[in-house]
Structure formats: structure tokens, C-alpha cells
């Protein structure tokens, strides 16, 4: 059973819809997966806030900019970026295409 600390979504800010969406999304995961997924969401929400974007209205260009930021600014490895982008099914194809190494 999830504890209240596992489902703390204060990182989502004051937007009730965003907090409920994050809470519902995190509730699907087991305890260990929830920790990692929460970290992924927290980083994505931080990035969206910094760039004045709405997390739930992510367009492909926004996701690609987020991916580039993780590569160039945070220096994440391709596997980490792919994992962080897999939070949404719509982002998976983008992550797979961009993470392939050139021949």
C-alpha cells in the first residue's frame, strides 16, 4: 500500500488538475517504481516551469527540447533519457528514434 509520502505531489505546484494527474499517474506504480517515476515527473515539471510551458500540453517540439536539454545540459546517458521519456506512450517513439546511435 502506498504511503502518503510516496504520493506527495507538491512538486506539481498549485495547479489542481496537474496535481491530480500526477497523483493518479504515480498511484499506478509499485513503491520502487514510484520513486523513480516521481523523480522523472519532478524534473520534467521543473523544466516546464523554467521554460514557461504547461506539462500536460506537451507538444512534440517541447518534448524534443526537453530531451536535448537532458543531453546537453544535464549530460544524461541515452538509457537514462529514454527511461525518463517513457512516462508517456506518446513520447516513446520520439525517444527511440532520437536515441539510436548513428551507424
Cell readout for 41 is: 515527473
Cell readout for 93 is: 517513439
Cell readout for 45 is: 515539471
CA-nearest of 72, 78, 2, 73 to 37 is 2
pLDDT by residue for the chain (103 residues), tens only, comes to 455 556 788 888 888 888 898 898 888 888 888 888 899 999 999 999 999 988 888 788 999 999 999 999 999 999 999 988 886 543 334 444 444 555 5
Position 58 scores a pLDDT of 79
Amino acid at each position: 500500500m502506498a504511503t502518503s509520502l510516496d504520493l506527495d505531489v507538491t512538486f506539481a505546484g498549485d495547479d489542481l488538475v496537474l496535481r491530480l494527474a500526477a497523483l493518479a499517474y504515480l498511484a499506478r506504480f509499485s513503491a520502487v517504481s514510484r520513486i523513480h517515476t516521481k523523480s522523472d515527473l519532478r524534473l520534467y515539471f521543473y523544466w516546464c516551469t523554467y521554460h514557461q510551458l504547461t506539462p500536460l500540453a506537451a507538444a512534440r517540439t517541447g518534448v524534443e527540447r526537453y530531451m536535448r536539454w537532458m543531453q546537453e545540459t544535464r549530460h544524461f546517458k541515452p538509457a537514462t533519457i529514454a527511461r525518463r521519456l517513457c512516462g508517456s506512450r506518446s513520447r516513446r517513439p520520439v525517444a527511440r528514434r532520437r536515441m539510436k546511435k548513428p551507424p
